Structure 1
Amino acid sequence: MNAYMDKSTQIKAMASAQRLRILQLLADPQKHFGQQRSADPVKFGVCMTLIAEALAVAQPTASRHLDILRQAGFITVQRHLKWSYCKRDEAAISGYLTWLGREISVTLTDG
Structure 2
Amino acid sequence: MIKSIQIKALAGETRLKILRLLAEPEIHFGNQWSADPVELGVCMTLIADALDVAQPTASRHLDILKQAGFISVRKHMKWSYCKRDDAAIRDFLNQLGEEILLKNQAELCPSKEG
Quote the Cα distance in structure 1 between the aligned partners of 2:49 and 2:102: 40
- Which of structure 1's runs of 4+ aligned residues deviate more than 3 A? none
**Structure ID, larger Rg:** 2
Question: Structure 1: which 5+ runs fail to align?
Answer: none
**Aligned AA for 2:22?**
L
What is the TM-score with the length of structure 1 in the denominator?
0.92
Q: CA deviation at 1:85?
A: 0.1
| Aligned partner of residue 36 in structure 1, secondary structure | coil
> In percent, how many aligned pairs have the same letter?
65
* Number of aligned residue pairs: 107
1:84 aligns with 2:80: yes
SS, match of residue 34 in structure 1: coil
- The answer for the alignment partner of 2:12 in structure 1 is 16
The Cα shift of 1:43 comes to 0.3
State how far apart, in whole Å, the 1-side matches of 2:29 and 2:46 are: 7
Q: Which structure has the highest helix share of the two?
A: 1
The root-mean-square deviation of aligned C-alpha atoms, in Å, is 0.9
Q: CA deviation at 1:107?
A: 2.3
Unaligned runs of 5+ in 2: 108-114
Question: Which TM-score applies when normalising by structure 2?
Answer: 0.90
